[in-house]
Amino acid sequence: MPAAIKLLVLRLSVLIVVLVFIAGCGESARKRSSVNLYVDAVALAESNEPDQAVEKLKLAVRQNPDFAIAYSLLGNIYLRQNDLAQSAQAYQKAAAINPWSFEDFQALGRVYRLMSDFTSAAQAYARACELDPQSSGPRYGAADAYYQLGDYEKALEYGKTAKDLAPTDSEIEKLLGDIYTARQDNEMAIDSYKRVLELKGNDPQIQLALAVAYLRGGRYDSAKELLESVVAAQPSNAQAWRHLGFACLKLGETGLAVEKYLKAVQLGPDDWRAHKGLGVAYMMKYRDLKSLGDNGAADFRTKAIAHWSRSLDLNPAQDKLLKLYRKYTQ
């Protein structure tokens, strides 16, 4: 008999003994049968036969409606099959039967997050945190759920505690950076993103997030340096090119700003922010050349107006830009 099969038989034998002990000697034959069905389901699940395992588990919970671990296994199988609604229902039932099950509440939080039901996810993770205060996983999950809900105070509370429990977890640090960014706490965001880079090494997406924090904090030279690294690593990153254009604009490098914004527009023709920024860069070029009496200045004004028009077509809710557009088209 292969070692893997021997191990499976041993595990199932132990499981039967435990379950029978839990059920008690006076339990009905129906409940004992549900235990046997559960054991069969475990074997089927481990043998990569999930549909048959589900059928066994459905029979098991029909015979024993309070069979919490059967519902847990159902939730796990449905999750692996990406049937999130069924998975959530199964884990809900398991958690209702056994409200002290950390694993069920943590799994339920994960399923709700995958379903983008962040309110339910936050509640499930919060309960998991109560059941195991020393586990960083559910605290990270709760922090992310509250972040998605826009409740940045609670997100930060859970995020900080998660970091205390797992200080070298880069995902937690990244989430804290995002939370600080949402709270417009740029210096704390910068510190968090820097820490992520220390933990993970150069990651273009983290570098981009850090560069944006630098931009928001007025540190344009630092932002430009990082963004140049990002576009070197990811030359098709339209967002990075747009931010680079903005950094150059703020540094008074109008020609470079035009060049970077043009690249952003080429890569993302429907990016209203890129069209707006390119229009601003062209208008600044127009003003500079006009002040020098350059006859070619008007061409840049025409280009600026064209890109502002495109930006307004893509996003009409830009009152300040609309005023500028009207000013230069009258």
pLDDT(244) > 50: yes
**What's residue 291's pLDDT?**
85
292 versus 233: which is more confidently predicted?
Answer: 233
Q: Between 183 and 20, where is the model more confident?
A: 183
In a domain, 66, yes or no: yes
pLDDT value of residue 111: 98
Identify whether 21 is part of a domain: yes
| 278: in domain | no
Name which residue leads in pLDDT, 115 or 330.
115
**Does 61 reside within a domain?**
yes
Range scoring the smallest mean pLDDT among 23-27, 241-245, 259-263: 23-27
Total domains, the chain: 1
Position 296 scores a pLDDT of 84
pLDDT in tens, 160-178: 999 999 999 999 999 999 9
pLDDT surpasses 80 at 284? yes
Residue 53 located in a structural domain: yes
Identify whether 198 is part of a domain.
Answer: no
Instruction: Find the DSSP H helices in 150-271.
Output: 152-165, 170-182, 186-200, 204-216, 220-233, 238-250, 254-267
pLDDT, greater one: 218 or 8 = 218
pLDDT at 252: 94
In a domain? residue 239: no
Residue 16 has pLDDT above 60, yes or no: no
Q: What is the pLDDT of residues 119-138, one digit of tens each?
A: 999 999 999 999 999 999 99
pLDDT digits (tens, 9 = 90+) for 264-277: 999 999 999 999 99
Domain assignment of residue 78, given as a range: 7-98
The chain-wide mean pLDDT, for the chain, equals 90
The domain that contains 70 carries what CATH number? 1.25.40.10
Report pLDDT for 36.
86
Instruction: Give, in order, the Cα–Cα distances in Å from 172 to each of 63, 116, 161.
Output: 43, 19, 10
- pLDDT score of 66: 92
pLDDT at 330: 81
Could you tell me if residue 94 is inside a domain? yes
Q: What pLDDT is stored for residue 30 in this prediction? A: 62
Looking at residue 45, its pLDDT comes to 87
Q: Are 207 and 197 in contact (CB under 8 A)?
A: yes
The pLDDT assigned to 325 comes to 92
Confidence of residue 7 (pLDDT cuts 50, 70, 90): very low
